[in-house]
Structure 1
């Protein structure tokens, strides 16, 4: 008489549970734009959701603790002239978020720790380089201020947000619309999917496709997601992949192992209402005292509902096996180091004592001196007096004026920072 051997795994009994009603975020007009992104981004400080907005594109940013009904006049982040299609929090600064829009631009925003009195309308920097809508954003996992964007022009651009410069432009890799882009753990490679039904592994610094022959799948899983696109989320700490269908009402999750059959179905979390989008909390934002290993933020038509994934354990002690050291908020490389060919794994932190997000940190943008940038080439025309090189005196006058303006801007920035710090201290004092 044979006995079926049950595979041993500490994640076999992971279960999902929706948060209580008073822990949801109510009365949010979630965007109705038909786009394949998750419409939601979350970090240990804030929840950001793309919303309906007249006269352009906008998203709302709420402190995580601001649950319940959201005031209809709550300030938005506005600035795009067309719908916002994707948003992504910087992994190295919890107060910085990037947004991509149908208006072909990317904007990077500084979100204050206090609740602003009016809409945030001035981005730190606007990145312009795409000729069509920009629908995908992804920050580099280990290099400071490196942001990837992909647009309807079938281009991928990698930016240095700290200077506003284009680091790399991959414009001949995809013959059709790019559906998704993902970095590997140290940011040395990209995985992309495209409308041509090809999965590519790309080395962005070499500008080469290093692999795209995936004829034979490791595992094949039938999914009932006829309603919309699949939103996958992978947790490398637990080797669990969560699959959420946009328009579906369930989250299916699987454990990935090194031995055949490689993919092991664990369970399905189901609810009554379909999801319009989904946010995925970084591991450092979870409650380790409750054995929480994942948290989703499910978008409905008018609300956002946290869904908590838990490993059932009786002990109140810290569970080392559930929480290996995980990527923290410090970058491992500078942008120019990564561009020059260096790679580095994420800087890890322990969650043994929980994670406390650092105070407001400001992103400084230093644009290159315009006189150091070679002007774009123009058609040759007949030589005239206006084509003559600038005199030394004119150049020195321009430089002096630029220097004076820069000093004024720096003084104003210091004043703004001082006022914001005073405001943060006042807010902290009233908590």
Structure 2
């Protein structure tokens, strides 16, 4: 008699649930651009969504905290003037990706088939890769320390690129034989996970070893659909979530060192199709509820949070679910990375939840456009503008702002009283 052995995994029972209606963001006109993008980005504080607008290029930023303080001294306003404008592409930009460990290094790729790496703090072009892709670039992904790139292109070629050397170190033609767009991401083990289509238009996923691109480590057919699969990867749990454009489901798989290497876990299903998806960084999750992933699903006019949890009976911190995870602090300066240095991400503990550091020491060798500036008042000295604001300075500014608000309020009350006196005098004259 044969005995079926069930694979042991703490993620076999990941439970997905949509947030309550009062936690969704309503009346948002999500962009109708046909570019295969997630249209959404999220961090522990804010949610950014590309919205429909004449000429394109508009986005809305919403705070994740539902308790808002409406100021009484000035209304909220649209921001039309950017801090900095980066000009270098000749056609529309469709891909943006921050370097995982170097400060202010931003990658952009556009319809001109060019990849540019910028130092956003100074506005400089660090590197330009303009002769590696003969056609439209579908996806770009950094590896864990930002030393390599994985790209996919309309020419059906998967490339591994060393951006600082400007070299393609490995490539694989037709990792998926279909003509529809392909996506590629690095895994924690250094493998490449891909999504694409077969020659018969079936959606397919693959796992590849960049040191041997001849044969896939794993290759699985999924279903027949035209929706491009967008992969979101969590290196802490080694789970990849697949969100298809136009699908009403999220499928998730665990990647391991054991055959078949890509293990199906489960599917979260809902009634409405998704137009895009945002993925919360690990430090933005609620560890007290064993939350291991959170998505922000875009509908036609709504954004809906979807929470993934691992059921646990204990209320204690679950060490196995939350190893130290990459935090927001960079490990390198832009110039150090450009000079050839590599560093792994700076890890933080989530045992007490993520708490932003109060005293952040920055090492800036050049003037940084993104440094905090005073909106008005006396101009700071050049030496002060090159250094980050200390906690003491921030507290002083907050106290000054509070005092000014009180003065403005007192003046408004005085103006109201004078207007009333004027009205009384006019009435008496009549």
After TM superposition, the score normalised by the length of structure 1 is 0.72
Taking a change above 3 Å as real, the CA distance of residues 179 and 29 of structure 1, as seen in their structure-2 partners, is same
Taking a change above 3 Å as real, the CA distance of residues 237 and 421 of structure 1, as seen in their structure-2 partners, is farther
Query: CA contact under 8 A between 2:84 and 2:369: conserved in structure 1?
Result: no
Question: Shift of the alpha carbon at 1:372?
Answer: 22
Taking a change above 3 Å as real, the CA distance of residues 129 and 12 of structure 1, as seen in their structure-2 partners, is same
Name the residue aligned to 2:364.
365
Query: CA contact under 8 A between 1:225 and 1:248: conserved in structure 2?
Result: no
Query: CA contact under 8 A between 1:180 and 1:192: conserved in structure 2?
Result: yes
User: Following the alignment from structure 1 to structure 2, what is the Cα–Cα distance between the partners of residues 53 and 303?
Assistant: 16
Query: CA contact under 8 A between 1:252 and 1:269: conserved in structure 2?
Result: yes
Question: Shift of the alpha carbon at 1:216?
Answer: 2.2
Deviations 1:69-99 (A, max 9, x none): xxxxxxxxxxxxxxxxxxxxxxxxxxxxxxx
Taking a change above 3 Å as real, the CA distance of residues 390 and 304 of structure 1, as seen in their structure-2 partners, is closer
Taking a change above 3 Å as real, the CA distance of residues 311 and 369 of structure 1, as seen in their structure-2 partners, is closer
Taking a change above 3 Å as real, the CA distance of residues 378 and 269 of structure 1, as seen in their structure-2 partners, is closer
User: Following the alignment from structure 1 to structure 2, what is the Cα–Cα distance between the partners of residues 371 and 44?
Assistant: 20
> Which secondary structure does the structure 2 equivalent of 1:214 belong to?
coil
RMSD: 12.5
Taking a change above 3 Å as real, the CA distance of residues 2 and 142 of structure 1, as seen in their structure-2 partners, is same
User: Following the alignment from structure 2 to structure 1, what is the Cα–Cα distance between the partners of residues 97 and 222?
Assistant: 26
1:112 is aligned, of 63, 67, 71, to 71
User: Following the alignment from structure 1 to structure 2, what is the Cα–Cα distance between the partners of residues 53 and 214?
Assistant: 43
Unaligned runs of 5+ residues in structure 2 are 170-210
> Which secondary structure does the structure 2 equivalent of 1:409 belong to?
helix
After TM superposition, the score normalised by the length of structure 2 is 0.72
Equivalent pairs counted in the alignment come to: 388
> Which secondary structure does the structure 2 equivalent of 1:224 belong to?
strand
Name the residue aligned to 1:16.
16
Taking a change above 3 Å as real, the CA distance of residues 112 and 39 of structure 1, as seen in their structure-2 partners, is farther
User: Following the alignment from structure 1 to structure 2, what is the Cα–Cα distance between the partners of residues 10 and 428?
Assistant: 80
User: Following the alignment from structure 2 to structure 1, what is the Cα–Cα distance between the partners of residues 429 and 289?
Assistant: 29
Taking a change above 3 Å as real, the CA distance of residues 407 and 130 of structure 1, as seen in their structure-2 partners, is farther
Please identify, of 227-236 and 240-249, the stretch whose mean Cα deviation from structure 2 is larger: 227-236
User: Following the alignment from structure 1 to structure 2, what is the Cα–Cα distance between the partners of residues 430 and 19?
Assistant: 64
Query: CA contact under 8 A between 1:49 and 1:59: conserved in structure 2?
Result: yes
Taking a change above 3 Å as real, the CA distance of residues 399 and 320 of structure 1, as seen in their structure-2 partners, is closer
Q: Which of 1 and 2 has greater Rg?
A: 2
Question: Shift of the alpha carbon at 1:407?
Answer: 30
User: Following the alignment from structure 1 to structure 2, what is the Cα–Cα distance between the partners of residues 359 and 389?
Assistant: 12
Taking a change above 3 Å as real, the CA distance of residues 397 and 168 of structure 1, as seen in their structure-2 partners, is farther
Taking a change above 3 Å as real, the CA distance of residues 33 and 159 of structure 1, as seen in their structure-2 partners, is same
Question: Shift of the alpha carbon at 1:228?
Answer: 2.1
User: Following the alignment from structure 1 to structure 2, what is the Cα–Cα distance between the partners of residues 151 and 124?
Assistant: 21
Please identify, of 195-204 and 378-387, the stretch whose mean Cα deviation from structure 2 is larger: 378-387
Query: CA contact under 8 A between 1:163 and 1:366: conserved in structure 2?
Result: no
Please identify, of 385-394 and 5-14, the stretch whose mean Cα deviation from structure 2 is larger: 385-394
Question: Shift of the alpha carbon at 1:221?
Answer: 2.1
Taking a change above 3 Å as real, the CA distance of residues 348 and 250 of structure 1, as seen in their structure-2 partners, is same
Query: CA contact under 8 A between 2:121 and 2:370: conserved in structure 1?
Result: no
Query: CA contact under 8 A between 2:73 and 2:405: conserved in structure 1?
Result: no
User: Following the alignment from structure 1 to structure 2, what is the Cα–Cα distance between the partners of residues 2 and 411?
Assistant: 84
Please identify, of 246-255 and 405-414, the stretch whose mean Cα deviation from structure 2 is larger: 405-414
Taking a change above 3 Å as real, the CA distance of residues 374 and 3 of structure 1, as seen in their structure-2 partners, is closer
Query: CA contact under 8 A between 1:164 and 1:365: conserved in structure 2?
Result: no
Name the residue aligned to 2:343.
344
Deviations 1:386-425 (A, max 9, x none): 9999999999999999999999999999999999999999
Deviations 1:372-395 (A, max 9, x none): 999999999999999999999999
Please state if 1:180 is matched with 2:179: no
Deviations 1:143-174 (A, max 9, x none): 00000000111100000111111100001111
Unaligned runs of 5+ residues in structure 1 are 67-108
Name the residue aligned to 2:54.
54
Question: Shift of the alpha carbon at 1:223?
Answer: 2.8
User: Following the alignment from structure 1 to structure 2, what is the Cα–Cα distance between the partners of residues 430 and 284?
Assistant: 68
User: Following the alignment from structure 2 to structure 1, what is the Cα–Cα distance between the partners of residues 310 and 168?
Assistant: 39
Deviations 1:281-332 (A, max 9, x none): 0000000000000000000001000111111101000000000000111100
User: Following the alignment from structure 2 to structure 1, what is the Cα–Cα distance between the partners of residues 369 and 71?
Assistant: 30
User: Following the alignment from structure 2 to structure 1, what is the Cα–Cα distance between the partners of residues 311 and 336?
Assistant: 43
Query: CA contact under 8 A between 2:322 and 2:350: conserved in structure 1?
Result: yes
Deviations 1:194-226 (A, max 9, x none): 00111111000010111x973422222223362
Query: CA contact under 8 A between 1:114 and 1:427: conserved in structure 2?
Result: no
Taking a change above 3 Å as real, the CA distance of residues 222 and 360 of structure 1, as seen in their structure-2 partners, is farther
Query: CA contact under 8 A between 1:14 and 1:309: conserved in structure 2?
Result: yes
